[in-house]
Chain A
Amino acid sequence: MTVNQLDAEALYAQLLAGVRPLVRHDAALAGVWSGGAWLAERLQRDLGLEGEHGVISSALHRDDFSRRGMSSAEPTRLPFSVDGRPILLIDDVLYTGRTTRAVINELFDFGRPASVTLAVLVDRGGRELPIEPAFTAARIALPPDARLRLARDAAGHFSFDVQEGD
């Protein structure tokens, strides 16, 4: 599959189906800001889960802080107790795994979850840490300098924002 063939809405439908069996009793959804948070918001609704989804930001635990400085992001907002809860982390694009590492640290600042499971829309390979999602809707290979992230229009429709590298 090439990057231009990626259909975000079709992949979302796969993500919804793939996530359903991962939602254990009492599980809470936490979407990684920003694309993952949009996905979690829609999944929360489409899965018929009670309460509100969480939004989690990697900003305070990033390992590139000393090189790139404070990244601007919405603050983490978890409208549920993390302690003893199975947490399903949702992200749009999984790449090096460094963001996932940072948000897991962030999550643990709020308590001790029973478990943390990761589901993503697209896995673009290139992992630098031992992180593996429980569900992936699509796998593609991209050059290291290419950028891929989810976009959402005013009507809530998903698409991909692609900046291809050289």
Chain B
Amino acid sequence: MLQQRNPQLNSNGELIHLLSIEGLPSAVIHQILDTAGTFLSVNDREVKKVPLLRGKSVFNLFFENSTRTRTTFEIAAKRLSADVVNLDIARSSAAKGESLLDTIANLSAMHADMFVVRHSESGAPYLIAKHCAPHVHVVNAGDGRHAHPTQGLLDMYTIRHYKQDFTNLTVAIVGDIVHSRVARSDIHALTTLGVPEIRAVGPKTLVPGDLNEMGVRVCHDMAEGIRGADVIIMLRLQNERMSGAMLPSAGEFFKNYGLTPEKLALAKPDCIVMHPGPINRGVEIDSAVADGRQSVILPQVTFGIAVRMAVMSTIAGNNA
């Protein structure tokens, strides 16, 4: 009988695509974080480039706009010596009616070795991984509301960097969780890595109650949600959601769930504050916190490049 296996792993259990953190063994996650540590030190060298992906072509396929994520993938690929091609698909073939798989077939004919894909449809990177040639690797750079695995991994790298051990932590994720692929990826990763207390904090309209089933404690009260936390992950309040009557107003949200120095004082004194960016000052986070001593928002960006280098080199080195 043919066994259904995780499409991200080959028959030896090695990572060949990164599509989601869900279903990744903790050993694979730790291996990526260890590898990222190696790449982080590359920044201190005179030559800030390593030859692992020399002669390979990485295609950034962004069907949904994201300058920041695309840029970090581009830097990561270039530091690995890959040739990088950026395709702003939103404005090209797709707009002319070409199907996703036709686009992939065409780019494969241009000898792509890796696709970094962002798409508004959940599951699009899976479809690409299923239909591309065996030597081609796929990285999900965010699909719909489903997953944003490299953000999840860089968040884990950040937590490990500051807290070392996952198994004694309380992590609070605050804000628009229902629309957030980052929250979903973080929850899967934190669970796999053995974090005993994960809290999802926000208003009822933005924090789904069924998160309880994932082992997450749902808190609609901010003070209860962040009290005693070791790590607070703030999420961006997606302005586009505001119109849908999910929230009264940005001011109201800030009053209840915005992270201010007063609210942060409820967490542990050495609690770190994370945010995937871009931040909305005065909407989900106060400037005094975003720029404060507990904020690790900018280190997250630096770690993100090393983590993306680790993901790309790991999958490129494993064969289907």
A interface, CB within 8 angstroms of B: 57, 59-61, 65-66, 68-70, 72-73, 75-77, 105, 108-111
Contacts and interface: CB of A to CB of B under 8 A. Distances in A.
A65 B317 contact: yes
Contacts of A61: 50-51
Given A61-B50, A110-B45, A111-B46, A72 B34 contact: yes
B313 interface: yes
Contact of A109 (B37, B46, B318): B46
Contact of A69 (B14, B41, B51): B14
A72 to B, nearest CB: 7
Given A66-B317, A69-B314, A59 B38 contact: yes
B260 interface: no
Interface of B: 14, 31, 34-35, 37-38, 41-42, 45-47, 49-52, 313-314, 316-318
Contacts of A109: 45-47, 49-50
B52 A65 contact: yes
Contacts of A111: 46
Contacts of B14: 69
Contacts of A68: 317
Q: In this complex, which of A57, A66, A77 has the most chain B Cβ atoms within 10 angstroms of its Cβ?
A: A66
A59 B45 CA distance: 15
Q: In this complex, which of A59, A65, A76, A110 has the most chain B Cβ atoms within 10 angstroms of its Cβ?
A: A65
Contacts of B46: 109-111
B31 A69 contact: no
A60 B52 contact: yes
Closest 8 CB pairs of A and B: A69-B317, A75-B38, A109-B47, A60-B50, A70-B317, A109-B45, A69-B318, A75-B41
A60 B38 contact: yes
Contact of B314 (A70, A108, A110): A70
A28 B34 CA distance: 27
A70 B15 CA distance: 11
24 contacts: A57-B38, A59-B38, A60-B38, A60-B42, A60-B50, A60-B52, A61-B50, A61-B51, A65-B52, A66-B316, A69-B14, A69-B314, A70-B35, A70-B52, A72-B31, A72-B34, A72-B35, A75-B38, A76-B41, A109-B45, A109-B47, A109-B49, A109-B50, A110-B47
